[in-house]
Amino acid sequence: MAERKLGVLIHGAGWVSTQHIAAFGANPNTEVVAISSLTEADARNRAEESGLDVACYDDYEAALAHEGVDIVSVCTPQHIHADNTIAAAGAGKHIAIEKPAAMTLDEMRAMRDAIGTAGVKTIVSFVLRWNPMFQNCKSLIAGGELGEIYSVETDYQSYQGDWWGGYEQGRRLDTGGSAMLVAGCHAIDTLRWFSAPGEFDAATPVEVFACAGGKRKGTTRQYNPITGQWHEGAPLEYDGLEIALVRFDNGVLGKVSVNFECIQPYTFPVSIFGDAGTIRDNRIYSHENPEQGGWREIPGICPGSSDVTHHPFQAQMDHFVECIVGDVESHCNFENAIATHEIALAAQECYRTNRPVSLPII
Ligand SMILES: NC(=O)c1ccc[n+]([C@@H]2O[C@H](COP(=O)([O-])OP(=O)(O)OC[C@H]3O[C@@H](n4cnc5c(N)ncnc54)[C@H](O)[C@@H]3O)[C@@H](O)[C@H]2O)c1
């Protein structure tokens, strides 16, 4: 237990902030002490809905100067994450950064410099590393149940549309970037996570080749997977389908895709191939279990929804607070998350050149 509770500033009072507020509120070592957003009214509404009587700001610099702020949760749209992070680091705050952490390589370089100079702790919100079923898969890999991993496949399949509050920024080239960057980065990060044998390691990519396609870019007819209805809506400015092949430095080959075009509920399929067994979603195959056709169910909650209330933010933030209190780096800190973003940004380079890209590029 820390001597006093660490104070948290929530910046960006939208959908995902509800879960950051709940998680930091429930952690015994932290409390939310301020909320800032585009308007003070937004911040105030979020505070009231969360049952908090805290200071509310529409001025980020003033909020950073609020007394007792130790941690900043950057929950704004992705195109301002870099500026928000650099300012928080400059103010000496530890930072939880929503994904994607940045839009460009230059932004990532500037963020790395600012975080390094400040010496603050960071976590990038690849929250699926704390999904209970994925944690069980990772333990099975680390325990050698699959033998040596040689291939992993992950897919983010979700029809992103105006049912999502962040869609207006997310759908645009300048503020969303690409399907891989804005949401498929979860699948990329999971690919790296399962491609490394260690319980707290994510694999390092050395080469990427990607293709983009689909039919949705520029079209206004939009599906809502929650209501099952079609309507007119603002178009995606980038391709809705991307498929990338990734070679890791440990020899593992990965295939990762993002699909914003699929007419179906959200799914996040995963396949992990080792030389002694296979995991497909929540089932593990072992040649040692012929009585059930070789497949056994892996216990744990699957990543079956894109709703933020379904994501394990509590476990992620508990881990982050533990890192701050214990003065250790998270396995999911900004430095580690760079490689996940490099894959999404290298994919964009492939679309321009039609050639594979060698990594690192940052
Ligand atoms: N880790 C996850 O699983 C997960 C889930 C959902 C969203 N996200 C990410 O979180 C971020 C926010 O997404 P969201 O769904 O909450 O979006 P949202 O649109 O619901 O919320 C964004 C909030 O930021 C505020 N804002 C916008 N511009 C601002 C500015 N210049 N200064 C201050 N505040 C500003 C908006 O008013 C809004 O309150 C996105 O980057 C998104 O990709 C991550």
- Tens digits of residue pLDDT in 98-144: 999 999 999 999 999 999 999 999 999 999 999 999 999 999 999 99
For the stretch 201-210, pLDDT in tens is 999 999 999 9
What range defines the domain where residue 30 resides? 6-127+314-333
Same domain as 262, residue 140: yes
Q: Rounded to two decimals, what is the model's pTM?
A: 0.97
**Beta-carbon count within 10 A of 90 CB:** 13
Task: Say whether both 189 and 52 belong to one domain.
Answer: no
pLDDT digits (tens, 9 = 90+) for 151-169: 999 999 999 999 999 999 9
Cα–Cα dist 311/187, whole Å? 14
Give me the mean pLDDT over the 78-105 stretch: 98
Pocket test for ligand 1, best of 76, 83, 319, 341 (most atoms within 8 A of CB): 76
Instruction: Report the atom number in ligand 1 closest to the C-alpha of 42.
Output: 39
Show the CA angle centred on residue 332, arms to residues 326 and 338, nearest 5°: 135
Residues 291-309 have pLDDT tens digits of 667 898 988 888 887 788 8
Q: Are residues 152 and 299 in the same domain?
A: yes
Facing residues of 210 across strands? Answer: 244
H or E segment at 22? helix 17-26
Distance CA 347, CA 9 (A): 34
How much is the mean pLDDT over the chain?
96
Q: What is the per-residue pLDDT for 33?
A: 98
Average pLDDT estimate for 240-256: 98
The Å distance, Cα 128 to ligand 1 centre, comes to 18
> What is the CB < 6 Å shell around ligand 1?
12-17, 37-38, 42, 75-78, 80, 98-99, 125, 127, 165-166, 182, 308, 311
Pocket test for ligand 1, best of 9, 20, 38 (most atoms within 8 A of CB): 38
**Tens of pLDDT along 176-191?**
999 999 999 999 999 9
Are residues 103 and 134 located together in one domain of the fold?
A: no
Q: Is the same domain home to 30 and 166?
A: no
- Same domain for 136 and 63, yes or no, is no
The per-residue pLDDT for range 6-22, each reduced to its tens digit, is 999 999 999 999 999 99
- CA-nearest residue for atom 4, ligand 1, is 16
Q: Do 117 and 192 fall within a single domain?
A: no
pLDDT value at residue 155: 98
> For residue 347, which of 357, 338, 339, 337 has the smallest C-alpha distance?
357
Closest ligand 1 atom to the C-alpha of 126? 1
CA dihedral over 9, 12, 13, 16, signed as positive or negative: negative
CA of 30 to the centre of ligand 1 (A): 22
pLDDT, one tens digit per residue, over 34-83 is: 999 999 999 999 999 999 999 999 999 999 999 999 999 999 999 999 99
Is residue 85 within 8 A of residue 118, CB to CB? The reply is: no
DSSP state of 211: E
Residues 227 and 353 both lie in one domain: yes
Among 15, 127, 130, the mutation site with the greatest number of ligand 1 atoms within 8 A of its Cβ is 15
CATH of the domain at 139: 3.30.360.10
Q: Which residues contact 108 (CB under 8 A, 6 or more apart)?
A: 82, 101, 102, 338, 341, 362
CA 360 to chain centre: 20
List of residues 6+ apart from 361 with CB closer than 8 A? 105, 342, 345, 346, 349
Residue 2 pLDDT greater than 60, yes or no: no
Distance 362 CA to ligand 1 centre (A): 25
**Looking at this protein, which amino acid is placed at residue 344?**
A
188, 340 Cβ separation under 8 angstroms: yes
Identify whether the C-beta of residue 300 lies closer than 8 Å to the C-beta of residue 133: yes
Query: What's the domain count of the chain?
Result: 2
pLDDT category of residue 286 using cuts at 50, 70 and 90 = confident
> Residue 20 and residue 9: Cα distance in Å, rounded?
10
